[in-house]
Amino acid sequence: MKNKIILIIRDGWGINPDPEYNAVANANIPNMDSFLKKYPSTVLDAAGLTVGLPDGYQGSSEVGHLNIGAGRIVVQELKRINDAIENGSFFENHNLQKAIENVKLNNSSLHLMGLVQDEGVHAHQDHLFSIMEYAQEQNIKELYIHFFTDGRDTPPKSALEFLKALNKKIAEYQIGKIVTVMGRYYAMDRGANWKLTTKAYEALTRADGVKVDTPERAIGKAYDNGLTDEYITPTIIGNFDGIQENDAVIYFNYRQDRAIQLTKAFIDDDYPGQRWKKLNITYCGFTRYYDTFPFYILEPMDESEGMKNLLGQVISDNGLRQLRISETQKFRHVTSFFNGKLINPFLNEERIEIKSMYDPATFAEHPEMNAFDVVERVIKEIDSHRFDVIILNLANGDMVGHTGNYEAAIKAVE
């Protein structure tokens, strides 16, 4: 291939005509300004129906990478789950049925855990409500809810709004009790910070955490301590004493990257963290969180959607060599998500992960993150002439933007 290609994905970089608190518009970006003056450009719509989401829903990094890598509109899991629940096929899944039957057979408890919010990036509260209603129809006696708070894709202190909506459904269906509350920082780490995952797991399985009487108090106490929803310390409600042997657990998050580590804590014999015990439970997730995970409800897109002729596949089929590179926080996006959620690389696809140096809680203090390390390695690989195509992700614009620190976001963009 005579002409080499580099695809640079500047994660979190958006266009908004309103300059107020607009990090991109107010940053000093001479290189980007120069590119826009010298070369043709266009604006892409990255939300709603354009990227396979229900109308009006915000896009995300995962959604963007899926659509770019597929070269077409990919119907997203949020819409597919909505449709499956509406037509009833969702509840016919054998893994879901197995979880329900296990609870009935053992006279045990059903646990629903996941992110409770309405933005639909990782999960959606309506899916939780649907499972609650189904459990009520199935005469499940003991239903426990583990409330993961967001504050990242939702306003930083919005958990009480979602708690109010959940309590309304608990009253309506006359089923369910909230027994733990914790921020996604612990329950949904994706950066191999196994101590965070273990802390979440031990709160869930042996009630090891802060103790309060009500979920409202759990959230209020966190706010009193200066924490936002994302960082609420794993908190135990009332006299809950942990998930027990022979219970069933349904994880209602559907996005894969932030569901992997906690899932491994529950089911993998070779869990990388230091858990106290692996329980004998029936476990079920909404989607296939990783290639070897068999206990999912929604059929994977690469099987149900016939995801062929992906960009990476076309590059490979034409005998070309490609590199995927990013720091840890977006490595799965530029590899698996870009490849239609397949885990294994295509032939002649090489992957380089630049290990993220900083804890997500400190990204605003280090707005550059590992961007310079990624670029330095990319330059090295360009000079090596080994690759025909290089696809890279610069993560800091998105990750620092999520902190809500405007000044840090400007520095990240610059």
Instruction: Give the span between the Cα atoms of 98 and 307, in whole angstroms.
Output: 29
Residue 321 main-chain phi, psi, to 5 deg: -100, 135
Max CA separation in the chain (angstroms): 69
- Structure tokens that stand for 397 in this block: 């614009």
Q: Tokens representing 262?
A: 């906690």
* Rounded CA Rg of the chain: 22
CA dist 206 and 196 (Å) reads 15
Q: How far apart are CA 147 and CA 113, in angstroms?
A: 6
Q: Is 228 exposed, middle or buried (0-12, 13-18, 19+ CB in 10 A)?
A: buried
> Given 34, 41, 61, 304, which residue is catalytic?
61
Residues 340, 296: Cα–Cα separation, whole Å = 17
CB 30 within 8 A of CB 349: no
Question: Is 108 an active-site residue?
Answer: no
Residues taking part in catalysis: 61
